[in-house]
Amino acid sequence: MTTVAVDTPGGQYPIHIAPGRLDALAQSIPADATAVALVTNPTIAALYAERAEAALARTGKRVVRIELPDGEAHKDWQTLNLIFDGLLSHRYDRKGVLVALGGGVIGDMCGFAAASYMRGVRFVQVPTTLLAQVDSSVGGKTGINHPLGKNMVGAFHQPVAVEIDTDVLRTLPAREISAGLAEVIKYGLILDAPFFEWCEANAAALRALDPQALTYAIQRSCELKAHVVSQDERESGLRAILNLGHTFGHAIEAGLGYGEWLHGEAVGCGMVQAAELSARVTGFPAADVARVRALVDAIGCPVVSPDLGADRALDLMRVDKKAEGGEIRFVLLPEIGRAVTQRAPEAAVREVLALTSCLPVEQAINLDPQQASPA
């Protein structure tokens, strides 16, 4: 088993990475817990809920399952309230512990419920998608979407543990693997040039779920994210670089309707757009723009954005947590392995949108990643 330590003002906790961690969930439940609530969705429940419940039952605590509708489209107030309904109807107290079994949507909503219920209870992240394992389960960001912006309502609330079972990735569709790999290569782009080069060399192995390559990718991603959040838990400075590609990506998600593209697909495409914008603003070399596009394509993510119209895309990008005074701030790359957050001339943004946003919306809604690659 590999363990990565996260140390923030809001909490210190381990990330355990190994096959079979679902069977060891009892180890992550604090001894003074009065009950456990397993929060999941029907898709994940059919695969892993009974196994997780059996593991949690070994704590001797009462275990109740709360199932939420599946998908990004349900990451809202109405669905969040189902968690509160379950906790209140089963009379969970402040020592009850929530366990998020699922992808980023489940993790974000369960974490937000934990941050809010009785003004804060403990929770454990058990991410079942690659994207959640390398990104959303680590660092304490929780929240829900608003029709006008992604993750605009939420809280920072650190888990007491993150349990990553690498075996569960075998049941993921290839599209989900590709989406998760977008977040993996992001870490190399913003923090670790040798890791980006390693991803270039191992893209095929990662897509094929080679155990050794996948374990290293997860471990290194978690190490890099832990390094950032330990310095800037609440995104007042450095942590903003973790949003490379997200300003463009969130506009794609909101413009198409949440759930039409997977979050990682939108981020992967957004990183190509951010690289193009970096070439115009920070002097990012054209050869490196091509490397970013080639790797995003190699992992199976789209590299051409839906054509939302420049005005619509800009409006959506202004509803962004990095925006200041209505001005968009982008994460840009001076070079591979280093990122900065700054404004960009609107003319340059429009030029990038004109260059990269050429996928008809109707085609984007029925995405075949091969169709969202250069002809």
DSSP state string for 206-273: HHTT-HHHHHHHHHHHHHHHHHHHHH-TT-SSGGGGGGTTHHHHHHHHHHH-TTSS-HHHHHHHHHHH
Average pLDDT over residues 337-347: 96
pLDDT greater than 90 at residue 139:
yes
- pLDDT value for 260: 92
- pLDDT value for 322: 66
The residues carrying an active-site annotation are 119, 141, 183, 225, 235, 239, 243, 246, 250, 263
Q: For residues 81 and 91, what is the distance between their CA atoms, to the nearest angstrom? A: 15
- pLDDT value for 51: 98
* Enclosing H/E stretch for 17: strand 11-18
Percent of the chain with pLDDT over 90: 87
Residues of each domain in the chain carrying CATH 3.40.50.1970: 2-170
Is 2-170 CATH 3.40.50.1970? yes
Q: Find the range with the poorest average confidence among 152-166, 228-242, 353-367.
A: 353-367
- pLDDT value for 183: 97
**pTM score of the predicted model:** 0.92
Task: For the chain, give the mean pLDDT.
Answer: 94
Nearest to 124 by CA among 114, 133, 116: 114
Q: Find the range with the poorest average confidence among 86-90, 144-148, 188-192.
A: 144-148
Class of domain 174-372: mainly alpha
- pLDDT value for 170: 93
Residues of each domain in the chain carrying CATH 1.20.1090.10: 174-372
Maximum pairwise Cα distance, the chain: 61
pLDDT band at 375 (very low <50, low <70, confident <90, very high): very low
303, 309 in Cβ contact below 8 A?
A: no
pLDDT greater than 70 at residue 200:
yes
Annotated binding site for Zn(2+): 183, 246, 263
pLDDT greater than 90 at residue 193:
yes
